[in-house]
Amino acid sequence: MTYQPSEARHDALAWRRAGSSGLTLPEFSFGLWQKFGDRTPYETQREILLGAFEAGITHFDNANRYGPPHRAAEKNLGRLLRQDLGAWREEILISSKAGNPIGKSPYLRGGSRKSLLQSLDHSLRDLGTDYVDIFYFHHPDPATPIEETVGALVTAVQSGKALYVGISNFYSRAAAHEAALLLRQAGVPLVAHQPRYSIFDRRIEIEGILEQSAEDGVGLITYSPLAQGLLTDKYLDSGIPAEARAASSDFLSPSDISEDYRVRARALNDLALERGQSLAQLALQWVLRRPEVTSALIGASSVEQLHHNLRAPGFTALTAEELAVIDTHGVHGTGLRL
């Protein structure tokens, strides 16, 4: 059956401008970082991604690394575009990234022109599209001059293969500012920065990235707002559910579920319940409280989970007293490998 989205999707989410650019995004974006490779049945992926589009999400975030194996998530999104969403490509924002390792070859990592531009070409083939809306440099590379990396990003836009460019995982304020300055001087402004941000990961607060992005006119599209599931109710009790990320993920392990974590998470969960919401909804609302955040990247393992999380902005705004409680128990670094 041919997919036909509802017109109501346009009014489902609030929209925010990315920094000082003309680009607007829904307050939630969907990331294909995990569970969109070859380990998850394609029909499950399709149901979730179409559910996200139906719910008002227009930004689908990908990278050459996403899978497993690497590049599988882009291939799966490309299949969805061919079979279902191709007619709505102009209403969809697709992002991709390169720079993090995807193989042993030096040409499959880092910020060189060869690495970035050949990866972009490969991503376009896998996605089956002529361009991506945002092309990110995935991670700082001290072995490559930032001028070379910026030059590659500029080429991506000038060649028509990307509409905008971004950086990701820059936790040095000076480095993030330098990238923004060089791109502005080249006539290709930096539209987005994608760092990790959650109640348990406050590096962008500590390092001044929030202020830097506002000063440079860069939108923050923050990822892992639920701290790999630590800011949900999955791990509040003893034991780890078999289907939980800590049981099978490369980014979270049973050793990360400490008693200190559980004490803090339970206190945060108590606050959420007092407010009539879940811990996940509290965590998402906390991230979106910042005006510097253009969009929060979320994933989902089911449409039901997706809809639950998308309801987060509908709750009463967090008070100063509630934010103080979150600061007390939301200790930076809890459960995470920083």
E strand map for the chain: 15-17, 24-26, 28-31, 59-61, 93-98, 132-137, 162-168, 190-194, 219-222, 293-298
Residue 276 lies in a domain: no
Residue 333 lies in a domain: no
Phi, psi angles (nearest 5°) of residue 220:
-100, 120
pTM assigned to the model: 0.95
Using 50, 70 and 90 to split pLDDT, how confident is the model at 66?
very high
Residue 272 lies in a domain: no
The count of other CB atoms within 10 Å of the CB of residue 287 is 23
3-class SS of residue 11: helix
Using 50, 70 and 90 to split pLDDT, how confident is the model at 241?
low
Residue that is written with structure tokens 């991230």 in the block: 287
Host domain of residue 61: 7-226+287-318
Percentage of the chain with pLDDT > 90?
Answer: 92
Comparing CA positions, the residue from 130, 309, 287 lying closest to residue 210 is 287
How do residues 111-163 score in pLDDT, each as one tens digit?
999 999 999 999 999 999 999 999 999 999 999 999 999 999 999 999 999 99
How, if at all, do strands 15-17 and 24-26 pair?
antiparallel
Residue 226 has pLDDT above 50, yes or no: yes
Q: What is the dihedral of CA 34, 35, 39, 41, to 10 degrees?
A: -160
Residue 248 has pLDDT above 60, yes or no: no
The pLDDT, as a whole number, for residue 251 is: 64
3-class SS of residue 297: strand
How far lies 192's CA from each of 42, 44, 176, in Å? 30, 30, 11
Using 50, 70 and 90 to split pLDDT, how confident is the model at 174?
very high
Residue 126 lies in a domain: yes
The pLDDT, as a whole number, for residue 144 is: 98
Tell me the C-alpha distance between 146 and 139, whole Å: 11
- Do residues 335 and 261 lie in contact, with contact meaning Cβ atoms separated by under 8 Å? yes
Residue 331 lies in a domain: no
Q: Given 3-state DSSP classes, what are the helix, strand and coil percentages for the chain, each rounded to the nearest 5? A: 45, 15, 40
The whole-number average pLDDT for the span 158-173 is: 98
- Do residues 267 and 273 lie in contact, with contact meaning Cβ atoms separated by under 8 Å? no
Query: What is the token pair recorded at 215?
Result: 């000063």
Residue 240 lies in a domain: no
The pLDDT, as a whole number, for residue 239 is: 73
DSSP secondary structure string, 279-319? HHHHHHHHHHTSTTEEEEEE--SSHHHHHHHHTGGGSPPPP
Residue that is written with structure tokens 């103080």 in the block: 324
- Do residues 96 and 133 lie in contact, with contact meaning Cβ atoms separated by under 8 Å? no
Residue 276 has pLDDT above 70, yes or no: yes
How do residues 290-315 score in pLDDT, each as one tens digit?
999 999 999 999 999 999 999 999 99
Residue 247 has pLDDT above 50, yes or no: no
Q: How many domains does the chain have?
A: 1
Residue 179 lies in a domain: yes
The CATH number of residue 200's host domain is 3.20.20.100
| Amino acid (one-letter) located at 203 | R
The whole-number average pLDDT for the span 312-334 is: 98
Phi, psi angles (nearest 5°) of residue 112:
-70, 160
Using 50, 70 and 90 to split pLDDT, how confident is the model at 336?
confident
Residue 286 has pLDDT above 60, yes or no: yes
- Do residues 249 and 34 lie in contact, with contact meaning Cβ atoms separated by under 8 Å? yes
Query: What is the token pair recorded at 175?
Result: 């480095």
Cβ neighbours of residue 22 under 8 Å, at least 6 residues apart? none
